[in-house]
Amino acid sequence: MLDIKFIIENREAVEKSIAMRHVTADLDAVIAAYDRFRETKQALEEKQAEANQVAKTISKADPAERPALIERGSALKAETSTLGEKLAGYEAEFQELMLTVPNTLPDDTPEGKDDQANIEIRKFMEPPRVNFKQKDHIELGKSLDLIDFEGGAKVAGAKFYFLKNEAVLLEMALQHFAFKKAIERGFIPLQTPDLARNDVLQGAGFAPRGNESNTYRIEDQDLSLVATAEIPVGGLHANEILPEEALPLRYVAWSHCFRTEAGAAGQASKGLYRVHQFSKVELYAFTTPEQSAAVHEEMLELEESIYQDLKIPYRVVRICAGDLGAPAWKKYDIEAWMPGKGENGEYGEITSASNCTDFQARRLNVRYKDKASGKNRFVHTLNGTAIAMSRTPIAILENYQTDRGTVIVPEVLRPVMGIDEIFPKNGAVADATQKAAG
RNA sequence: GGAGGGGUGGCAGAGCGGUUGAAUGCACCGGUCUUGAAAACCGGCAUGGGGGCAACUCCAUCGUGGGUUCGAAUCCCACCCCCUCCGCCA
């Protein structure tokens, strides 16, 4: 959420952002709602002042004068009560409209309405040329007996899955690897609640309900399953005033991620690419306004170094205005080469890194005490993916497959996984199951 | 899940329904003293919002939301959280 005063004073910049992002937000309506809210509030405060005055007088008033004063107080009470109701309505309308206004944009934001307009800014490794037909991760998952989508569907429905055999070790090794690298750089490790209160979701900029909502809600409770650790970690310091010395405060957090993905059936969503549940190692930082740009670059650098160590070909893209989420001021994605995506392989989004400036902090109400001025100011928040356990394994399986149908284990993961290569199972498990049944 | 206790300023901790936005202590900031520091002493010190060039002034906030009352930190109701005990449990 932006500051209404900022919107009024920087109207052009906000209008420009709305236009560039291709979203609809009516600033005239927002400002009109604010004026209505503020005028009503002023009227209410005048009545409250008078009521306070009367109440104060009564305690010292002559007994003979009291009945008249009490009557006056009663009348004022009725008036403030009516005005209060009116004000609550105006405030709700105003807040509602404020939610439609996105963050502003840096001047160098690429124009464009969707991911087609994102700008590639650099590349690591070239997609390798191989002389055999590469399989996608679904086939590999089947032949190596690593991912059981049928089982997932049986238990929880489509887009759920079981990880199995080496895939389980792969996930654990990736987690460990990502945590180790982030901790080395001063990130504080966390494991978060997988559920969060709806106001925390809202504060982080996620809609707990409504058409565009991507979240699972808990029936009869004020809780939702988190879509990312960004939600609980953002909420961790909600309504706090952090000491300036604590900033930048960097976390690396593991959580499950739950997404309803309503209406996503037609999109690039084969296999593990778009699922209802996965786990993720997320980076999150609270910074001063002065620090956020540098921490953003640092986050991206950490993400890149993870994929460099894993030796997965990738490219970094700068996200265009139309492809940014409302809270994001600036955002990079890393897209990994996925040989099984599309006809002959495509780059697929594997991480992102966003600087939300104070947009998220304002709603979460996370501030810090600025030493120089002694003032409380909103922090900046940033979030980024270290490793998404659904998509990174796709890239590993598809890039590390051999013409023998095996998958080589990336060198940096071998110590934790304890193996160098993943071999086809040749129905061994099915045989075992049959034997057990017989 | 059951029974009891409790949530007050950065922290600790007072607070008969009416000069309590809130005593006191600690911490913090400024000053006096000191060669310097400590101690002592003096002064300042919640947040958000509105109005005013300013001095200043008004409104809201004592877990959250309702209620009673002319007036609520103080009384009533609901909810949330914390602590103790019991039950269940990885």
- Taking the domains of chain A in order of start, what are their residue ranges? 4-98, 115-431
Pairing, β A249-258 against β A277-287: antiparallel
Average pLDDT on A90-109 reads: 92
Active site residue A17: no
A5 touches strand B (CB under 7 A): yes
CB neighbours of residue A406 within 10 Å? 17
At A37-73, the pLDDT tens digits run 999 999 999 999 999 989 888 877 777 888 888 888 8
Asked which of A58-67, A96-105, A120-129 is least confident by mean pLDDT, the reply is A58-67
Please give the nucleotide, over all strands, whose C1' is closest to the CA of residue A71. B70
Rounded, the Å distance between the CA of A2 and C1' of B80 is: 28
Q: Following CA atoms A235, A240, A244, A249 in sequence, which dihedral angle do they give, to the nearest 10 degrees?
A: -20
pLDDT score at A437: 45
Average pLDDT, whole number, for chain A? Answer: 90
Residue A324 pLDDT exceeds 70 = yes
Q: What is the DSSP string of A123-155?
A: EESPPPP-SS-PPPHHHHHHHTT-EEHHHHHHH
**C-alpha torsion A265→A267→A272→A274, nearest 10:** -80
Question: Which of chain A's residues 373-402 bind strand B, using a 7 Å CB cutoff?
Answer: 375-376
Instruction: Give the model's confidence band at A432: pLDDT under 50 very low, under 70 low, under 90 confident, else very high.
Output: very low
Work out the pLDDT band at A427, boundaries 50, 70, 90.
low
Return chain A residues 224..263 having CB < 7 Å to nucleic acid strand B.
241
A74 touches strand B (CB under 7 A): yes
The tally of CA atoms less than 13 A away on the side-chain side of residue A61 is 15
Question: Strand B nucleotides below 7 A of a protein CB?
Answer: 10, 18, 47-50, 58-60, 66, 70-71
* Chain segment A331-360, per-residue pLDDT in tens: 999 999 999 998 889 999 999 999 999 999
Query: Is A270 a residue whose pLDDT tops 90?
Result: no
The tokens describing A288, both together, are 């001063």
Model pLDDT, residue A59: 79
Give residue A433's pLDDT: 46
Q: Is the pLDDT of residue A279 over 60?
A: yes
Q: Which one of the listed residues A21, A197, A363, A391 is annotated catalytic?
A: A391
pLDDT at A436 over 60: no
| First-to-last C-alpha distance (Å) of chain A | 62
Work out the number of other CB atoms within 10 angstroms of the CB of residue A203.
23
A305 is catalytic: no
Q: A259 catalytic, yes or no?
A: yes
Q: How many Å apart are CA A231 and CA A214, to the nearest integer? A: 13
Pick the CATH number of A4-98 from 3.40.50.410, 3.40.50.720, 1.10.287.40, 3.40.50.10140: 1.10.287.40
Per-residue pLDDT at A211: 60
Considering only CA atoms, name the residue closest to the C1' of nucleotide B79: A222
pLDDT tier, A189 (very low <50, low <70, confident <90, very high otherwise): very high
pLDDT at A335: 96
For the stretch A375-422, pLDDT in tens is: 888 999 999 999 999 899 999 999 999 999 999 999 999 999 999 999
How would CATH label the architecture of A115-431?
2-Layer Sandwich (3.30)
Q: Give residue A179's pLDDT.
A: 97
> Does pLDDT of A434 surpass 50?
no
- Asked whether the domain spanning A115-431 has the same topology as the one spanning A4-98, the reply is no
| pLDDT at A438 (0 to 100) | 39
Distance CA A141, CA A119 (A): 32
Q: What per-residue confidence (pLDDT) applies to A261?
A: 82
Q: Is A126 a catalytic residue?
A: no
Q: Tell me the C-alpha to C-alpha distance, in Å, between residue A389 and each of A175, A267, A346, A423.
A: 8, 20, 19, 21
Lowest mean pLDDT among A151-155, A199-203, A379-383, A433-437: A433-437
pLDDT the model gives residue A263: 62
User: Is A220's pLDDT higher than 90?
Assistant: no
Q: How many CB atoms lie within 10 A of CB A398?
A: 25
B88 C1' to A17 CA distance, Å: 55
CA dist A209 and A219 (Å) reads 12
Structural contact between residues A288 and A245, judged by C-beta atoms closer than 8 angstroms:
no
A193 contact to strand B (CB, 7 A limit): no
Lowest pLDDT segment from A72-86, A225-239, A266-280, A381-395:
A266-280
- Whether A127 and A339 have beta carbons less than 8 Å apart is answered as yes
**Whether A77 CB is under 7 Å from strand B:** yes
Catalytic position from the list A197, A259, A362, A363 = A259
Q: Does the active-site annotation cover A390? A: no
Confidence of residue A268 (pLDDT cuts 50, 70, 90): low
Q: Which nucleotide is nearest to A59 (CA to C1')?
A: B18
Q: Is the shortest CB-to-strand distance from A59 to strand B under 7 Å?
A: yes
Q: How far is the CA of A424 from the C1' of B90 (A)?
A: 35
**CA gap A363, A250 in Å, rounded:** 20
Residue A42 Cβ under 7 A from any strand B atom? yes
Find the catalytic residue in A217, A274, A318, A414: A274
